[in-house]
């Protein structure tokens, strides 16, 4: 009898686990740039449905990016409505990731997203018109963050042997949440 209950109970938990799927939904984004290096900037988030929104971005690089370095930071909104640092704060030499000389995880994730959704899909340097179309964050690219509101910030700098210049910042505001289903399945 007890074991029958355990089977029932555990099948209920399995049902729960398969029914709730975590997703990362983009709510908005902001871009700031060094205007002596980048012009014609536009960045937008477009909602597709309750669970999904996509990023479209355009900008023109007046000064080519030779050896860009990206600082990737994650912040989580706390109960006092402030974004606090959350686990991730890494600085990535993206050319090294592209040329497979570095396999730093968040750098590899960033490169996967660039390759899939942007024309920044080749080795350094990057110049001229840069665009991103219909970009989104697949759930399986990230570890399962606790549900809540997050800010992912990418600060881009360009470096040479003597200098490190600020190029721009992209801020993605997103929500880790359970997928919203249009139809509830009966709990038969």
Ligand X SMILES: *[C@@H]1O[C@H](CO)[C@@H](O)[C@H](O)[C@H]1NC(C)=O
Q: Which of residues 70-99 bind ligand X (CB under 6 A)?
A: none
The least CB distance from residue 9 to ligand X, in Å, is 49
Candidate list 36, 49, 82, 140; residue touching ligand X; CB under 6 A:
36
Q: Are 111 and 98 in contact (CB under 8 A)?
A: yes
- Identify which of residues 34 and 51 has a Cβ nearer to ligand X in the complex: 34
Instruction: Name which position in 166, 178, 180, 181 contacts ligand X (CB under 6 A).
Output: 166
**Nearest approach, Cβ of 169 to ligand X (angstroms)?**
11
Cβ–Cβ < 8 Å for 43, 55: yes
Task: Give the C-alpha separation, 134 to 55, whole Å.
Answer: 5
Interacting span for ligand X (CB under 6 A) from 18-26, 47-55, 163-171, 178-186 = 163-171
Query: Vertex 152, ends 150 and 154: CA angle to 5°?
Result: 170
CA distance 27 to 180: 15
Binding piece for ligand X, criterion CB under 6 A, among 105-113, 117-125, 134-142, 145-153: 117-125
What is the length of the chain?
188
List alpha helices for the chain, DSSP H: 2-19, 94-98, 105-117
Buried b (16+ CB within 10 A) or exposed e, 107-120: bbbbbebbeebbeb
Which of 60, 88, 91, 125 touches ligand X (CB under 6 A)?
60
Region from 12-20, 30-38, 69-77, 83-91 binding ligand X, contact rule CB under 6 A: 30-38
| Contact positions vs ligand X (CB under 6 A) | 34, 36-37, 39-40, 60, 63, 119, 121-122, 160-163, 165-166
């Amino acid at each position: 009898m007890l074991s029958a209950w355990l089977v029932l109970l555990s099948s209920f938990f399995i049902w729960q686990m398969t029914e709730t799927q975590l997703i990362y939904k983009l709510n908005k984004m902001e871009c700031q740039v060094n205007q002596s290096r980048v012009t014609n900037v536009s960045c937008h988030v477009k909602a597709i449905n309750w669970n999904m929104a996509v990023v479209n971005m355009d900008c023109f690089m007046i000064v080519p990016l030779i050896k860009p370095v990206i600082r990737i930071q994650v912040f989580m909104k706390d109960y006092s409505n402030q974004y606090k640092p959350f686990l991730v704060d890494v600085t990535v030499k993206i050319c090294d990731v592209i040329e497979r000389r570095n396999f730093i995880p968040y750098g590899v994730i960033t490169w996967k997203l660039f390759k899939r959704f942007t024309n920044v899909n080749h080795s350094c340097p990057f110049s001229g018109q840069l665009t991103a179309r219909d970009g989104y964050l697949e759930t399986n690219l990230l570890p399962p963050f606790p549900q809540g509101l997050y800010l992912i910030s990418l600060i881009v700098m360009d470096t040479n042997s003597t200098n490190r210049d600020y190029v721009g910042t992209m801020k993605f505001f997103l929500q880790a949440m359970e997928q919203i289903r249009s139809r509830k399945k009966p709990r038969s």
